[in-house]
């Protein structure tokens, strides 16, 4: 078992530090997450909080196994994306790359497990309604 490949991103309220852990050559490889308050002393280990379970693992998205060695980037619209490698089956050791948009829930926590078919349809991001009161 190992913990490796840290990568971070920062929001107004939180510093996030992801890392890969588990068996690096197996479907059990996964992404864990540490969080800290950006105003705290980040060099003090007591200020970091570790997620109790992996935030991305072999059961997160159907057909993706052993996700790990991730990084983050923002697109031209400011959306946060995660890039990672994974495997195509439980038995495979063939690694492939993947990217996915990171969403934030109502509590502001990042969600890494929305597959492309569950992602928000960008054509629906601007919705209008006309109400007539009689």
Tens of pLDDT, residue by residue over 87-118, are 888 787 778 888 888 988 878 889 888 766 66
Number of domains in the chain: 1
Residue 82: give its domain's CATH number. Answer: 2.115.10.20
For residue 130, being part of any structural domain is answered with no
Give the residue numbers spanning the domain of 101: 2-124
Q: Is 125 exposed, middle or buried (0-12, 13-18, 19+ CB in 10 A)?
A: exposed
pLDDT at residue 122 tops 70: no
For residue 11, being part of any structural domain is answered with yes
For residue 59, being part of any structural domain is answered with yes
**Residues 3-55: tens digit of each pLDDT:** 888 999 999 999 999 999 887 678 888 999 999 999 999 999 999 999 999 99
0.85 surpassed by pTM:
no
For residue 134, being part of any structural domain is answered with no
For residue 133, being part of any structural domain is answered with no
Q: Is 34 exposed, middle or buried (0-12, 13-18, 19+ CB in 10 A)?
A: middle
Confidence (pLDDT) at 50: 95
Candidates 58, 53, 104, 105; CA nearest to 81 is 104
> What whole-number distance in Å separates Cα of residue 119 and Cα of residue 102?
9
For residue 10, being part of any structural domain is answered with yes
Candidates 14, 19, 17; CA nearest to 37 is 14
């Amino acid at each position: 078992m190992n913990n490796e490949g840290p990568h971070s991103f920062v929001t107004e309220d939180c510093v996030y530090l992801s890392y890969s852990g588990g068996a690096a050559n197996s479907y059990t490889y996964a992404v864990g997450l540490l969080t800290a308050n950006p105003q705290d002393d980040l060099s003090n280990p007591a200020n970091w909080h570790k997620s109790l379970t992996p935030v991305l693992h072999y059961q997160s998205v159907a057909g993706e196994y052993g996700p790990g060695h991730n990084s983050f980037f923002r697109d031209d619209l400011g959306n946060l994306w995660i890039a990672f490698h994974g495997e195509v089956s439980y038995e495979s050791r063939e690694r492939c790359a993947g990217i996915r948009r990171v969403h934030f829930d109502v509590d502001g926590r990042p969600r890494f497990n929305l597959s492309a078919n569950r992602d928000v349809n960008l054509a629906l991001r601007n919705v209008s309604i006309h109400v007539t009161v009689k």
